[in-house]
């Protein structure tokens, strides 16, 4: 039988005000929930306790279904229509680095002058806090329409962008027709970002005693012209700049060597490349670029894409290449247009439409699997991974209103 749907008109000022008022009503719930999550250390592969806290919050909000998959992702549903929408927040965080560099305890979730501080506030547990109570508003105001909305708290993103969604999609845990990422956007609508990959270049030498280096072949010296060539390649990539995403980039993020001792010539040298990918650049393209560098050929260097095969908190290992494609959704796509409608409701103004600088799970949902994906999240991405990690309380309220409005906006924009 067809699902009976409430007729929703998002140009109706009274309905918009009702949604914003409902979000305001749950402000205290969102603040407490976010502070509780911040207080639970949840670095990649160690998210079990924060997943349990999210399950508790979903139960309090009256979700229709809650499940945890084999990788440890939590998925909660409201609504039962045929259209499947996913709203996603990765709930793992990076570490705190030097605790002395923080002005607050990174695991206290300090609330001061309308701003919540602590590790994960911006990146990106605020999105989870707003999503759960946005889903509650959908239930309260009967805004699911012909949709079922899945709120996903995903794991291991900081270690391996989108591995969580490779699992969800390949293992058929969920098959959404559109995805909303709640990574921080400063309440703007985002529609893409550059991809990235991790590449190593390795030179081999011949070790000998350091007192007579001429007897060996120093792998570090063989690497030196490659390092200069990589620096030049980054400048040359400007020629392939995309009008929206900009240029690709490459930088050396680590250099290491091996030798029998500190009194010996290095017998190997390895550099680690952080390669950012714009439109038209993929794994094969980027690897060949490095392999074709004259310095790489002259040194006979080995070029490889790294693998990721860490153990999830559930005990599962789900290996993948450390390759995360770029993606862009067209400005006039129904997902973007629905996001603009929902953002008008939330912000009471015309939203900015832009892109992330960093990478998100969208690299898999859209970049690898082609599922239309947009972003709208509380907090500003400039605070991600920083000792000033923070989210304004007002952003939680407005984001919750957005998540409540998006499903019917999507259904109307996408049509049958």
Q: How far apart are CA 115 and CA 109, in angstroms?
A: 10
Contacts of 4 (CB under 8 A, 6+ apart): none
- Candidates 374, 342, 401; CA nearest to 135 is 401
| Catalytic (active site) residue 4 | no
Instruction: Name the E strands within 224-264.
Output: 249-258
d(CA 94, CA 387): 11
- The CA angle 149-155-156, to the nearest 5 degrees, is 145
**157 belongs to the catalytic site:** yes
Burial class, 210, CB count within 10 angstroms (exposed 0-12 / middle 13-18 / buried 19+): middle
Q: Which of 47, 69, 88, 157 is catalytic?
A: 157
SS3 assignment for 200-220: EEEEECECCECCCHHHCECHH
Q: Which two tokens stand for residue 289?
A: 């670029």
The answer to whether 256 touches 243, Cβ cutoff 8 Å, is no
- Active-site residue, selected from the candidate residues 92, 110, 158, 381: 92
Q: What is the residue-wise DSSP string for 259-305?
A: -SSTTB--SEEEEEEEEEE-TT--HHHHHHHHHT-HHHHHHT-EEEE
Q: How far is CA 158 from CA 45, 145, 222, in A?
A: 10, 34, 33
Q: How far apart are CA 301 and CA 200, in angstroms?
A: 10
Maximum distance among all Cα pairs of the chain, rounded to whole angstroms: 84
Catalytic residues: 92, 157
């Amino acid at each position: 039988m067809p699902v009976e749907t409430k007729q929703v008109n998002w140009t109706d000022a009274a309905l918009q005000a009702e949604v914003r008022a409902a979000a305001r009503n749950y402000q205290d719930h969102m603040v407490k929930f976010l502070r509780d999550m911040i207080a639970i250390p949840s670095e990649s592969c160690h998210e079990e306790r924060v997943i349990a806290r999210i399950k508790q919050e979903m139960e309090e909000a009256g979700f229709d279904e809650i499940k945890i998959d084999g990788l440890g992702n939590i998925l909660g549903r409201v609504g039962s229509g045929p259209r499947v929408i996913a709203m996603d927040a990765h709930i793992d965080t990076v570490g705190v680095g030097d605790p002395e560099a923080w002005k607050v305890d990174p695991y206290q979730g300090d609330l001061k002058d309308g701003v919540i501080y602590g590790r994960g506030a911006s990146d990106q547990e605020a999105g989870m806090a707003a999503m759960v109570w946005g889903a509650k508003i959908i239930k309260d105001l009967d805004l699911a329409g012909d949709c079922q909305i899945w709120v996903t708290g995903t794991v291991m993103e900081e270690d391996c962008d989108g591995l969580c969604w490779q699992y969800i999609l390949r293992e058929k845990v969920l098959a959404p027709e559109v995805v909303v990422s709640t990574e921080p956007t400063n309440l703007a609508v985002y529609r893409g970002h550059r991809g990235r990959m991790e590449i190593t270049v390795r030179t081999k030498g011949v070790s000998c005693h350091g007192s007579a280096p001429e007897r060996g072949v120093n792998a570090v010296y063989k690497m030196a012209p490659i390092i200069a060539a990589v620096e030049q390649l980054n400048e040359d990539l400007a020629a392939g700049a995309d009008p929206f995403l900009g240029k690709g980039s490459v930088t050396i993020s680590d250099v290491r060597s091996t030798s029998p001792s500190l009194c010996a010539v290095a017998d190997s040298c390895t550099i680690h490349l952080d390669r950012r990918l714009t439109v038209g650049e993929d794994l094969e393209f980027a690897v060949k670029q490095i392999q074709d560098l004259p310095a790489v050929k002259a040194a006979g260097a080995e070029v490889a894409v790294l693998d990721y095969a860490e153990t999830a908190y559930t005990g599962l290992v789900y290996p993948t290449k450390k390759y995360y494609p770029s993606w862009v959704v067209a400005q006039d796509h129904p997902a973007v247009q629905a996001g603009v409608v929902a953002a008008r409701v939330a912000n009471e103004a015309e939203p900015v439409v832009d892109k992330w600088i960093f990478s998100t799970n969208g690299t898999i949902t859209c970049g690898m699997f082609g599922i239309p994906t947009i972003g709208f999240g509380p907090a500003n991405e400039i605070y991600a991974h920083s000792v000033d990690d923070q989210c304004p309380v007002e952003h939680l309220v407005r984001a919750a209103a957005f998540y409540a409005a998006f499903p019917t906006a999507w259904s109307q924009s996408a049509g049958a």
